[in-house]
Structure 1
């Protein structure tokens, strides 16, 4: 068995972790990035050019690890019908990619969520508008009133209320962004807190370098495209808040879609009242785990050797192989 993934997002970490656990590795994607995975960071034993070279991957007896780029580039429909064994539960994809289903999931898990506005004309405070799907923050925008919403929505091609199915309008909760990364082991029935990050976003973070009076003069439109990730070590008294949130999400997933296993991330903020408000879930490995290729403070507290999220996936696959339980974690 070999481990494969799409050559983008968190592939370096996934393939490195697989090699640390003794697996042969395969990357696939555009030819331009091949040297990244075979020369500059030699983590891929094989590189196949192509968006999804299914026959070659089947011949090499691979198991595919999904990432945000994998789902975004291939599309949910292709992923659902692919024949290459897939680590995780494919049923989760439609719940994650549709913000209405995602909210149903998080509400049932009894997490504190931002208010959602069904009608833009009811906006009575700051909101953040998000297109559906994994887009790395692209297309998000802030609005403070119905008029402000309709003016900015035109940039996304939203002209009237019939187009609103393409976005979700969320209350903008003021707080510190926090993105805890989890791993749920289906084999051991255990949740692990792997690491925590916050995102560095353009141009939302860059605007802060411009004096306020100049910002007003430039009339800048805020954008939230993710450029990179910054490690965060959370105040210790808040750790149970994020762990309990993760536990509730896993328990609810079992009831709604047959389970969530492997890596996932809750995206939210801590308010000044120290309340964890969750606005999104990424039900797969996230790029925020990339600063922790050599492990994080949290993985070091659990393990006596470096464990990235990529390696933790490979450890689960190694255990499943050894216990003849691969069928429990692959779909």
Structure 2
């Protein structure tokens, strides 16, 4: 009997709760310290396995692993690509997601509005945000106002001293607007895109600086950082919904051409400008932690399903449908 498994971090609580709601037995695996979180305080795991990836035990339990940002970050892409336990989703998207140059090619193929990217820091002529490659939860991001500011902060925050080290980062134009993170689910079985929910992130210390008077900010000479601490729900103006839905549709279509498809959960990370343009700066091709706000569902899933439907539960339902229709091999790799 198939069981749903995931790494004990990130969005594991809702993944396992959703799986149990769909009738699956569940497995959490990870550090022993967090066992009580998933078995006692929030009893969503029927099994808890110690270790970052106990492959043999997962195979014996007939598990399907649901990837999260923590899982990929801890194990690394190479190990995930080699893993023998069935994996929900297309592993090929991992390299496209984690390499910002490939990610840029993907988003350009989808014909989304994108911020300018600076290849040469000495050409910076407007505020930029600098991002290391990979899923790091905002760690290492910083703002630079010009070339000199970039080089000072690049060395201080990331140890970058010359242009040979720039392969590890992308330098993006900083877009002023409201950060918006729509969460999608693409059903390979039904060939249908769903808008699951939307959030924005609460980041340290950029979201806390506003509590300090401006004159004190200047005196303190604070550096802005973007480490994600939590998430805040958003319901968009109804007139903007087609913008985010069409963006999601184009990303799925582009993925079919570039890497054989994107299915399951994903998130476009972007900004709505004052002119109401949706500018996308990043994609997370898996479940994101912002979906944790909606374990009992969102306004959008309620409109579609009329019952509590988290992204975690939607994953489990897709697997359930695939099993019932003898199409499981189409959704796991």
Say yes or no: TM over 0.5: yes
Where does residue 74 of structure 1 map in the other structure? 75
1:297 & 1:78 partners in 2: Cα distance? 37
* 2:277 aligned residue: 275
Show the counterpart of 2:301. 299
Rounded Cα–Cα distance in structure 2 between residues aligned with 1:132 and 1:49: 29
Task: Give the deviation of 1:116 after TM superposition.
Answer: 0.1
Q: 2:170 aligns with which of 135, 143, 168?
A: 168
Aligned residues: 331
Identify the residue that residue 114 of structure 1 maps to in structure 2. Answer: 115
TM-fit CA distance, 1:57: 0.4
Aligned to 2:86: 85
Identify the residue that residue 21 of structure 1 maps to in structure 2: 22
SS in 2 for 1:238: helix
Q: Report the Cα offset of residue 101 of structure 1.
A: 0.1
Residue 16 of structure 1, CA deviation: 0.2
Contiguous gaps of at least 5 residues in structure 1: none
Q: Can you list the C-alpha shifts for 1:288-316, whole angstroms capped at 9, x where unaligned?
A: 00000000000000001100000000000
CA deviation string 1:241-281 (max 9, x = no partner): 00000000000000000000000000000000000000000
Whether 1:325 aligns to 2:327 is yes
Shift of residue 78, structure 1, vs aligned partner = 0.3
The TM-score, its normalising length taken from structure 2, stands at 0.99
Distance 2:118 2:205 in 1: 25
Q: For structure 2, list consecutive stretches of 5 or more residues without a partner in the other structure.
A: none
Q: Which residue pairs with 2:196 in the alignment?
A: 194
C-alpha distance in 1 between matches for 2:61 and 2:159:
43
In the alignment, what sits opposite 1:259? 261
Quote the offset at 1:323 in angstroms: 0.3
- Cα distance in structure 2, aligned partners of 1:129 and 1:39: 41
State the distance in 2 between where 1:327 and 1:276 align: 35
- Equivalent residue number for residue 97 of structure 1: 98
> Whole-Å Cα distance in 1 between the matches of residues 229 and 34 of structure 2?
18
SS at match of 1:267: strand
| CA distance in structure 2 between the aligned counterparts of 1:182 and 1:88, rounded to whole angstroms | 14
Task: State the alpha-carbon separation in 2 of the partners of residues 206 and 173 from structure 1.
Answer: 19
Indicate whether 1:290 and 2:317 are aligned: no
Q: Which runs of 4+ in 1 moved over 2 A?
A: none
User: Equivalent residue for 1:124?
Assistant: 125
